[in-house]
Amino acid sequence: MIDEISQRLLDRTRPMRIHLLGVAGSGMSGLATLLLEMGHRVSGSDRVTSRETERLQLLSLAFSSPHSAEAVSDAEVVVYSSAIKPDNVALVAADREGIPSVRRAECLAAILHTRKGVVVSGTHGKTTSSAMCAHVLKKSGRAISHYVGAEIPVLGANAHWDEESDYLVAEGDESDGTLALYRPSHAIVLNIEAEHLDFYNSLEEIVEVFRTLLEQTSEKIIYCAEDVTARELCSGCEGALSYGWDDADFTASDVTEGRGVISFTVWRRSEKLGRVELGILGRHNVLNALAAIALADDLGVDFSLVARSLASFAGAKRRFESVYLSSRFRIIDDYGHHPTEIEATLQTARSLKPERIVALFQPHRYSRTQRLAEEFGVVLQEADIVFVTDVYPASEAPIEGVSGRTIVEAVERHGNTRCVYHQDLTTAHHVVGNLLQPGDLLITLGAGNVHEAGRKIADDLVLLEALRSEFGEGELEARLYEAMRRHTTMLVGGPAQFWVEPRTFPAFGRAVVFFKERGVPVRVMGRGSNLLVRDGGIRGAVIHPAKGEFGEVTVEAELLTAGAGARLKKVASVAEAAGLGGFAWMEGIPGNVGGGLRMNAGAMGLETFDQVVSVMFLDEDGEIRTRSRAEIEAFYRNVPKLHRNYALQVIFRGTPAGMEEIREEMLESRNHRRSTQPVAASAGCIFKNPDSIGAGQLIDELGLKGKRVGKAEVSAEHGNFIVNRGKAEASDVLRLIDELKAEVKEKRGIDLETEVQILGEDQVSF
């Protein structure tokens, strides 16, 4: 079948009609590119549209989604990827109609056999090495076709067909035995390890597949002498060329690593060829470069052209790819998913001399995780902090007892590296991004979709770093994904996308303007005492004015000035020390001044605005203004002026009083709170009091105290409080609120209205 297809592909007078199943994948999209550029009529289908399918459509691919029987109705041959199941509707239709169907590798072999093939094989490093080979030959002035397993910026795409080319450089996949299909002119063997044991039974079986490839290679075998198995297999082959650190045909010496480059001297046996400066990092890439050098030398390419080409090689996507770089942070993404690959990648990361290496690792396949857990446990010690997600299955069925936790336990057995299991990849960037410190290098590792987490962090760091650059030292602190459960008295809530802590009033104003000019939503949050943040967190910026000018409280005569971030408890304490009465009621309220003003908080018959003289606030235009009490309308738990303006500072009026009198009032307030409100974590009163009866009394009369959802419970001390009995989720609290409202409505006909502010997203959206 392969030879038949190969002959048909060569017949330009009668283009073939070919359909590709799973065309969005990197391997299949490469095939589509080759076939389209060869002039054939190509269609393809997949479950989703992607950037690759959009690119291919510009090359005239007829794309459809999802898979369908109609898409293959007029095809001469159907090509399918390893991800396609036997019951795929299009594959079944092709079989029913008698349309031949072949695997991806069989189609590649058919294309390869139309040219002199250079097959780059090995357990690791195939994509980078094949891209290097293609780049070096292309830059030397040769017409070259190529097929590699990832997007290669310097090559323009993962595949390209040049009608004038004599050679096709292709990455050969050994994972399913199809490596034995190829009959190349040149075979490069990078390494051979016990991998893909979900398909093979032993290393010996893998070696046999490589042996078949070598037996079918017509001109030259090139192999890495540093790999024991590759050396044992290849060294006896007639005319084989070896490369390595020493005792090989091509060697590298005087290796020097700098920032972003690695240079070395190349020797051909005893002959010094010259110096190479490689545009990608890592000693393992020196070996990859030697493979390309050996190939180019065998094909007669002048070394000076080879050296110049390698200097301009920029690497492949997801192969130690720089995702983000600033003076404070660096983010790297790498496809490595085998211990050998990860060891080399982390060593390369360490050569950049970061303060810390933070690794986010997504294990790939349950079988590999189970078999190589101890090896992973050893190589991950090279990182300072490791986060491990759950396993990316790659179509494998789960294995009982095997998960990302398997890797964590192995890391803990083999050293002291801090290792954290975070099962859900969709929220892993929140935990990792919040942990990052200046000088850190974050590296995402794995063959699945772990790179998405690094790119989300990178996207948000762009904005955060731009914010920081506009402020001087000490004016502001900012970080990503701060968990709101750390900043609410209920101790629930997802993260804030951007968490900002200004220290001065002007810094606050400039931060608000910065985000609003960029269309980023802004929330101002105090102590979070009357706040319930949903589990999905808060999209946009949360500004937390608590320190610096915002935390200051001063007294002059009968006037007390307090920043919006000062706790009401502190206001009461400062007033007491100054002999100023009228503030004792604040002792019993857990919030801060800003929240008290916004909600016109109160207790013991008093409200915040009963004592306000004036409020300084930031208006919607970013201007700082001051308004007197007479200019501000204040209602029960509602101050309209502060819905869209942000309080910065307030002046309260007190009444001089004796110390003993103030102490008694403070003690009364404290005791009142203790006797009427729960000690457990809460957000204060959940509901506003209806006109006819207090909300707490109403809930008590209906016997709803103690009602629970998850770890959220109606307080036994006060019916209008919901308390967190330990790691409750916001969803637990919200469901309990809904159930209370429904029961009160059904039994008393009263519509309860929440007093607590409810913010944020139900699910993660950033």
Confidence (pLDDT) at 257: 83
Rounded distance, CA 87 to CA 154, Å?
A: 39
Closest to 383 measured CA to CA, from 312, 426, 459, 435: 435
> What integer is the mean pLDDT of 2-19?
82
- Is the Cβ–Cβ distance between 50 and 79 less than 8 Å? no
- Is the Cβ–Cβ distance between 21 and 134 less than 8 Å? no
Q: How confident is the model at residue 336 (pLDDT cuts 50, 70, 90)?
A: confident
Active-site hit among 33, 127, 229, 389? 127
Q: How confident is the model at residue 5 (pLDDT cuts 50, 70, 90)?
A: confident
Tell me which amino acid residue 55 is: R
Q: How many residues does the chain have?
A: 766
Rounded distance, CA 498 to CA 539, Å?
A: 8
Instruction: Find residue 628's DSSP bridge partners.
Output: 614
Three-state secondary structure string covering 668-713 = HHHHHHHHHCCCCEECCCCECCCCCCCHHHHHHHCCCCCCEECCEE
Say whether pLDDT at 398 is over 80.
yes
pLDDT in tens, 268-279: 999 999 999 988
Judged by DSSP in three states, 724 sits in strand
**For 567, which DSSP code?**
B
pLDDT in tens, 729-761: 999 999 999 999 999 999 999 999 998 999 999
Task: Give the contacts of 621 (CB within 8 A, at least 6 positions apart).
Answer: none
Q: How confident is the model at residue 313 (pLDDT cuts 50, 70, 90)?
A: confident
Residue ranges and CATH numbers for the domains of the chain are 2-104 (3.40.50.720), 115-311 (3.40.1190.10), 321-460 (3.90.190.20), 548-674 (3.30.465.10), 679-759 (3.90.78.10)
Averaged confidence pLDDT in the chain: 91
Task: Give the contacts of 619 (CB within 8 A, at least 6 positions apart).
Answer: 625, 645
- Active-site residue, 470 included: no
Rounded distance, CA 493 to CA 8, Å?
A: 62
Confidence (pLDDT) at 1: 76
Confidence (pLDDT) at 675: 66
- The larger pLDDT score, comparing residue 674 to residue 60, is at 60
Q: Where are the beta strands (DSSP E) in 66-136?
A: 77-80, 101-103, 116-121
> What integer is the mean pLDDT of 697-721?
93
- Is the Cβ–Cβ distance between 680 and 715 less than 8 Å? yes
- Active-site residue, 126 included: yes
Rounded distance, CA 498 to CA 500, Å?
A: 6
Closest to 725 measured CA to CA, from 739, 715, 736: 715
How crowded is the C-beta side of 716, counted as CA atoms within 13 Å?
A: 3
Confidence (pLDDT) at 13: 80
Rounded distance, CA 668 to CA 653, Å?
A: 21
Rounded distance, CA 281 to CA 150, Å?
A: 18
Three-state secondary structure string covering 305-351 = HHHHHHHCCCCCCCCCEEEEECCCEEEEEECCCCHHHHHHHHHHHHH
Residue pointed to by tokens 């891209």: 131
Active-site hit among 52, 171, 321, 755? 171
Closest to 30 measured CA to CA, from 201, 145, 157, 212: 157
> What integer is the mean pLDDT of 558-587?
93
Say whether pLDDT at 676 is over 70.
no
Rounded distance, CA 24 to CA 46, Å?
A: 6
Report how far apart, in Å, the C-alpha atoms of 38 and of each of 9, 14, 141, 539, 608 are: 8, 12, 21, 48, 78
Confidence (pLDDT) at 173: 85
The burial of 375, by beta-carbon neighbours within 10 Å (0-12 exposed, 13-18 middle, 19 or more buried), is given as middle
Instruction: Find residue 421's DSSP bridge partners.
Output: 388
Single pTM value for the model: 0.77
Q: How confident is the model at residue 564 (pLDDT cuts 50, 70, 90)?
A: very high
Active-site hit among 53, 126, 229, 561? 126
Judged by DSSP in three states, 700 sits in helix
Report how far apart, in Å, the C-alpha atoms of 728 and of each of 79, 422, 664, 710, 733 are: 51, 18, 37, 7, 8
- Active-site residue, 53 included: no
Say whether pLDDT at 149 is over 70.
yes
Rounded distance, CA 514 to CA 500, Å?
A: 12
Say whether pLDDT at 25 is over 90.
no
Say whether pLDDT at 21 is over 90.
yes
The arrangement of strands across the sheet holding 476-483 comes to 476-483, 495-502, 538-543, 522-524
Confidence (pLDDT) at 467: 95
Say whether pLDDT at 150 is over 90.
no
Choice among 13-17, 360-364, 686-690, 706-710 with the minimum mean pLDDT: 13-17
- The larger pLDDT score, comparing residue 157 to residue 275, is at 275
Residue pointed to by tokens 């090559």: 155
Confidence (pLDDT) at 255: 92
pLDDT in tens, 533-557: 999 999 999 999 999 999 999 999 9
Confidence (pLDDT) at 740: 95
pLDDT in tens, 203-225: 888 999 999 999 999 999 999 99
> What integer is the mean pLDDT of 399-427?
95
How crowded is the C-beta side of 547, counted as CA atoms within 13 Å?
A: 8
pLDDT in tens, 430-455: 999 999 999 999 999 998 999 999 99
- The larger pLDDT score, comparing residue 725 to residue 151, is at 725
